[in-house]
Structure 1
Amino acid sequence: MKITLFCLLIIINSSNLLGQYSEVGILMGATNYLGDLVPSKEYFLGTNFGMGATYQYNFTDRVAIRGNLIWGQIKGSDQNSNYDSGRRQRNLNFHSQILEFSALAQVNILPFHPKRNFKPITPYGFVGIAVFHFNPFTTYKGKQVYLQPLGTEGQGMDGYSAKYSLVEISIPAGIGIKFCVSKRFNLSFEFGLRKTFTDYLDDVSGDYVPLNELRTGNGDMAANLSNRTYDKDGNQIEQAGNPRGHVGKDWYSFMGFSLTYSLHKYIYFEKKKKRRRGTKPKKKGNGRWM
């Protein structure tokens, strides 16, 4: 532990020699979801647009922290399945917006600093923690209906769990590659997965609740949207006790580009020295980027 802290102090203190600077920028790309309605082999069927803003503080040419604010959409539908006829019969679907704030630690594989004698490109990795908001909804008879208030798996009824929270924690982790475009602008491309601690991004997790019990406890809409399996005459098929979802937490991801603007300053060390000595400083050429 002492060795780790000592090494960390060396890295941070070395920033006095290598220079600290900040970056601000925008993010744009795609969001995806992995869960009961989109298994891994159908991952790209759930692709949606995502965008956001980022702030990064570089301690050294290799170590940085950053904060991201990302908005995106996720979706899933059993009707998109080409592998599982049982899922098509289950007939569930959802959409949700995701609003995420994350704090990340980033490590560059190669030294990176605009306008220094370092590499103008570097791969990097990142990991951190995020807080996000979601709110799954579906379409029923042409209208948008939010699912969490309904309690489609009996949430809120006696003998069942409470309704799940719409604000959760996730663990973002991923990789990327960063390019120095000019002395002020940097372009990055990255892919990051988010491990969540909820199984309800899609409002699907446990077993079917008996239809009559659900109608009595949470209303007709909860029963209609909990069980969307029908016979050839259009009547609901009772599924009480059968699995509606699968055990395991849901995931989501963001993949895309970021364009950042460096807020470093050009400081003339030789100029400062000359001023301290009372001599006239040179105009340019002996400075360094910070």
Structure 2
Amino acid sequence: MWKVQKHEYTLQLGASNFLGELGGRDQIGSDFLWDLEFNQTKFAGSLSYMMYLGERVGIRAQGGVQRVAGNDNTTTEIFRQNRNLHFRANIYDFTTTIEFHIIKEKYGNLYNLKSNLGKKLGLKKVNVGFYTFFGLGGFYFNPQAQNPSNGMWVDLAPLGTEGQGLEGGPEPYKKYGVIVPVGFGLRYGLSREWGIKLELAHRFTFTDYIDDVSTVYYDNDAIANAYGSQAAYFANPTLNIIPTYTDGTYEYNPTKAGMQRGDPTDRDGYMYAVLGVYYRPRATAKGRYRGGSRRIKASF
């Protein structure tokens, strides 16, 4: 059947989430799913086209958009709370993946048709299919933070919040990169051509700047002199809830220049869970019909 239905088109809508430095669990050192913050879930959507290479394998091209966000005020971990950073970013990605149908969905009869003898045509039940995929792609992101004085969302990359472009600071980061998409899903056939699917996927990236946070604090006065007071604020909006002086004696300042602001060894990532509708049209050719009966003229 796959040679007759080699092409598939899918629309997917659902939710996305972010795995990075900001927000997260109420403890330091949680990684991957263990650092997921569900109250920062945002929207996701995509369109895709797949060409089947065989009965159980296809190559899929997909374009998607998702919003991700993180906020240190969602955690009770004191160092993250004191850091007080937040962000949002719209991510636009394009991926090419190989999809493997481990279990093929089977189709019942959409119209409950019967033969001349009263026997039901088609399968007695509809089975759910299972698939997995992986591939390669590219993405673009633009982290922003909200100015508390006027409510406006500000692009963070030009502000050099970790001293980008200044003496001894890192190079400005690129707002695009390579991603490795992996995931799996369930398929349920409504008919020979239409079906629905549930898909979960993760995008591994090679950047740590989707949230504009990666390395250490830079001298805040130097940032203010070079990029202005707004840049200095977003570089270090600390709440100062961790004491730095006791009885006039210096003890600890977790947000001074050189102290840890992020974790450059742990790359950012994002994921989505979506519901989709797919359409797999049957090819038409001379002598082939999509439905109905075909009359045959007898000749003697």
Q: What TM-score do the two structures reach when normalised by structure 1?
A: 0.80
Question: How far is 1:237 from its partner?
Answer: 8.4
Question: How far is 1:224 from its partner?
Answer: 1.0
Q: 1:126 to 1:48 in 2, by over 3 A?
A: same
Which of 116, 125, 130 is equivalent to 2:132?
Answer: 125
Which of 178, 183, 194 is equivalent to 1:174?
Answer: 183
Deviations 1:52-99 (A, max 9, x none): 2111111222001111111110000000013x1111111000011111
Please, which runs of 5 or more residues in structure 2 have no aligned partner?
A: 25-33, 109-121, 242-252
Distance of 1:149 and 1:181 partners within structure 2 = 49
Is the 1:111–1:119 Cα contact (8 Å) retained in structure 2? no
Q: 1:216 to 1:200 in 2, by over 3 A?
A: same
Please say if 1:74 is aligned against 2:83.
Answer: no
Distance of 1:50 and 1:238 partners within structure 2 = 34
Deviations 1:241-266 (A, max 9, x none): 11011131001011111101112226
Distance of 1:106 and 1:59 partners within structure 2 = 10
Paired residue secondary structure (1:109): strand
Query: What does residue 93 of structure 1 align with?
Result: 86
Letter matched to residue 19 of structure 2? L
Distance of 1:65 and 1:252 partners within structure 2 = 22
Is the 2:254–2:260 Cα contact (8 Å) retained in structure 1? no
Query: What does residue 55 of structure 1 align with?
Result: 49
Distance of 2:58 and 2:128 partners within structure 1 = 16
Query: What does residue 238 of structure 2 align with?
Result: 229
Query: What does residue 158 of structure 1 align with?
Result: 167
Question: How far is 1:221 from its partner?
Answer: 1.8
Deviations 1:143-187 (A, max 9, x none): 211100101001111322221111111100011111111122121
Query: What does residue 278 of structure 1 align with?
Result: none
Query: What does residue 245 of structure 1 align with?
Result: 262
Question: How far is 1:219 from its partner?
Answer: 2.5
Distance of 2:288 and 2:90 partners within structure 1 = 53
Provide the aligned C-alpha RMSD in A.
2.7
Paired residue secondary structure (1:198): coil
Is the 2:104–2:130 Cα contact (8 Å) retained in structure 1? no
Which of 157, 160, 174 is equivalent to 1:148?
Answer: 157
Please say if 1:216 is aligned against 2:225.
Answer: yes
Is the 1:19–1:60 Cα contact (8 Å) retained in structure 2? no
Query: What does residue 103 of structure 1 align with?
Result: 96
Letter matched to residue 198 of structure 1? T
Q: Percent identity?
A: 29
Query: What does residue 134 of structure 1 align with?
Result: 141
Q: 1:60 to 1:237 in 2, by over 3 A?
A: closer
Please, which runs of 5 or more residues in structure 1 have no aligned partner?
A: 1-13, 272-281, 286-290
Please say if 1:205 is aligned against 2:198.
Answer: no
Q: 1:52 to 1:99 in 2, by over 3 A?
A: same
Which of 12, 18, 28 is equivalent to 1:33?
Answer: 18
Q: 1:284 to 1:43 in 2, by over 3 A?
A: farther
Deviations 1:214-245 (A, max 9, x none): 2223322221110011447xxx9861111011
Question: How far is 1:119 from its partner?
Answer: 7.1
Please say if 1:24 is aligned against 2:9.
Answer: yes
Number of residue pairs the alignment of both structures matches: 256
Letter matched to residue 294 of structure 2? K
Which of 188, 193, 200 is equivalent to 1:191?
Answer: 200
Q: 1:207 to 1:72 in 2, by over 3 A?
A: same
Is the 2:97–2:134 Cα contact (8 Å) retained in structure 1? yes
